[in-house]
Amino acid sequence: MVNDMQTPVAPLWIDRLAIVGVGLIGGSLALALKRAGVVGEVVGIGRGLENLRTARSLGVVDRFTQELEAGVADADVVFLATPVLTLPQVAARALPHMKSGAVLTDGGSVKASVVAAIEPLLPDGVQFVPGHPVAGTEQSGAAAAFPTLYEGRRCILTPTARTAAAALDLVARMWQTAGSEVVLMDVEQHDRVLAATSHLPHMVAYALVNAVSACGREGEDVLRFSAGGFRDFTRIASSDPTMWRDIAISNRTALLETLEIFEATLAELKRDIAGQQDEALYEFFQRSKQRRDAIR
Amino acid sequence: MVNDMQTPVAPLWIDRLAIVGVGLIGGSLALALKRAGVVGEVVGIGRGLENLRTARSLGVVDRFTQELEAGVADADVVFLATPVLTLPQVAARALPHMKSGAVLTDGGSVKASVVAAIEPLLPDGVQFVPGHPVAGTEQSGAAAAFPTLYEGRRCILTPTARTAAAALDLVARMWQTAGSEVVLMDVEQHDRVLAATSHLPHMVAYALVNAVSACGREGEDVLRFSAGGFRDFTRIASSDPTMWRDIAISNRTALLETLEIFEATLAELKRDIAGQQDEALYEFFQRSKQRRDAIR
């Protein structure tokens, strides 16, 4: 199921928004909503005092606290923007302190493991809307946040059978106000589509750089001879190792399925190279080129 | 063995240069040498009359012919810039008509198969210097040629035991005059290094696009959800399928070795994901990131 929510946006107002993890993702959402004038107060919650002070001095948040429980207590919307493996424990601490009628949402790149961990913890009167804004840069921290990060980018929401329509509508309008195209998916579909289009390519890029290094003999630095194409191709292997370790583990079921499809595809190519199957090779490359050109 | 030939360049003069295949690669060499004033006459040789006429009207060549045998007869240097699989047959036709003292060189992306095919055909008095200018764009044809294509790019020459020093020196100075850094490698090393840094990444990119497409269920177009990282990563899958079919077949021995190293590296990663080996995964990604960052 994929639905694009492109209906006209009703007026949005959030009295108090708590951002847990005031980095690029959390801070940029705060800035976008403040700029749109749809939020009364933004409370920043985090562990690093220096980053929180930076966030306040830059106007990313109006006030901040290092106390998660106190910070979320009076918030109408709580956005969790911490690393994906930490989301269950952060939610477990925050949820008992959230007020009735409040909405919890998150920005995790993986959804099934997050939903499975958080939904059983939901108190009566608190709603959870799982989300994934598909955006980011190679920067991090509150100082990297900017209000247009989400403009023209997709934000995928993955409501479950327990998600109330009103809460989903509120979070969808929040992301639309930030400039995103909101797309609804099943949790399982989200993890499979992201495994294919994002997680698998990152795994392949990381593996390629390590494999090419291993092709050198007797201390030979073959990477010295890499040209522009290789550099573009492997830029994503410069991404944060901690984040990708967490994503690989959190989404391992869907990721392992895509890795198997990739291995089978590569094995087909290898067999055709070994057998000098010129027609099959041309067809393989041509098919790939056509698909790639279609998404330019 | 790798030697960078960075000794001062002695004056270079080529009375008559024949370019077989007047496209981006051949045409750009002609323009660079003409601009440097080191060539008396450039003869363009090709099959397509329209392309040859374009080449002459743009000043890429001074005259042209569709007769390979006649075109090479009075040339001092003959540069073969046709697709890599055609080089043996083009050389076989040209060599008996080249004059004594002339030098044959080429621009093929694969060297072992080219050297093995051409060296046995060399008449007395004609030298062959195998070469590979590591440059190119996504354009082709004489109209795409420009004199600065080779500036700052590497040109790999792979002399063999049969290559005379004077002929190697002449071809090296020719590429240096065109702006290239000339690097000497063994034929075998060239094919292995290029398999690792160029041919393997192209195979992986082509396979990745086809694998990601195959991850969609029931006609679902998962590529629709690909983001910027995927697009950058797979840009090289838009390369010419014919050229890559030819390279894959010509360099299959070295390429299959690198594919096996890549498969083993990917299998290690997959095993660590399945086993949730967080430390091993972090180390794998971190090692890759450090190597990638070092070639920025």
Q: Give the class (CATH, top level) of A2-185.
A: alpha beta
Retrieve residue A206's tokens: 């990381």
Give rounded-to-5 percent helix, strand, coil for chain A: 55, 15, 30
Partner-chain residue, chosen from A192, A263, A295, that has the shortest CB–CB distance to B226: A295
Query: Cβ contact (<8 Å) for A198 and B269?
Result: no
Helix (H, G, I), strand (E, B), or coil: what is residue A163? Answer: coil
Q: What is the number of other CB atoms lying within 10 angstroms of the CB of residue B145?
A: 26
Q: Do A200 and B194 touch (CB under 8 A)?
A: no
Distance CA B91, CA B104 (A): 9
Which residues in chain B are closer than 8 Å to A245, comparing Cβ atoms? 278, 281-282, 285
ipTM score over 0.85, yes or no: yes
Give residue A4's pLDDT.
55
pLDDT of residue B5: 56
Contact B200 A222 (CB under 8 A): no
- SS3 for A79? strand
Q: What is the pLDDT of residues A284-294, one digit of tens each?
A: 999 999 999 98
A215-269 pLDDT, tens digit per residue, is 988 777 888 887 667 887 888 888 889 999 999 999 999 999 999 999 999 999 9
Which residues in chain B touch residue A233, judged by CB atoms under 8 angstroms apart? 201, 205, 232-236
Contact criterion met (CB < 8 Å) for A238 and B289:
yes
User: Is A201's CB within 8 Å of B234's CB?
Assistant: yes
Amino acid at B274: A
* pLDDT at residue A161 is higher than 60: yes
A84 CB neighbours in chain B (<8 A) are none
Same CATH topology for B2-185 and B190-294? no
pLDDT tens by residue, A128-158: 999 999 987 667 899 999 999 999 999 999 9
One pLDDT digit (tens) per residue for chain B, 296 residues:
455 555 555 689 999 999 999 999 999 999 999 999 999 999 999 999 999 999 999 999 999 999 999 999 999 999 999 999 999 999 999 999 999 999 999 999 999 999 999 999 999 999 999 999 998 766 789 999 999 999 999 999 999 999 999 999 999 999 999 999 999 999 999 999 999 999 999 999 999 999 999 998 877 788 887 766 788 788 888 888 999 999 999 999 999 999 999 999 999 999 999 999 999 999 999 999 999 998 86
Q: How far apart are CA A280 and CA B145, in angstroms?
A: 31
Average pLDDT of the residues in A70-80:
98
Q: How far is B126 from chain A (nearest CA, A)?
A: 31
CATH superfamily of A190-294: 6-phosphogluconate dehydrogenase C-terminal like domain (1.10.3660.10)
Cα radius of gyration (chain B): 22
Q: Is A285 helix (H, G, I), strand (E, B) or coil?
A: helix
- Contact criterion met (CB < 8 Å) for A285 and B241: yes
How much is the pLDDT for B1?
45
CB-CB contact of A201 with B229 (8 Å): yes
- Name the 3-class secondary structure at B38: coil
Of A192, A208, A273, the CB nearest to B201: A208
A210, A245, A296 ranked by CB distance to B282: nearest: A245
Report pLDDT digits (tens) over A22-67. 999 999 999 999 999 999 999 999 999 999 999 999 999 999 999 9
- Contact call for B211 and A266, based on CB within 8 A: yes
* Residue B231 to chain A, least CA–CA distance (Å): 7
Calpha distance B103→B273 (Å, rounded):
55
| Rounded Cα distance, B189 and B39, in Å | 32
Domain limits of chain B? 2-185, 190-294
Contacts of B274 in chain A (CB under 8 A): 252, 256
Residue of B nearest to A209 (CA): B288
CB contact under 8 A, B236 and A232: yes
Contact B163, B131 (CB under 8 A): no
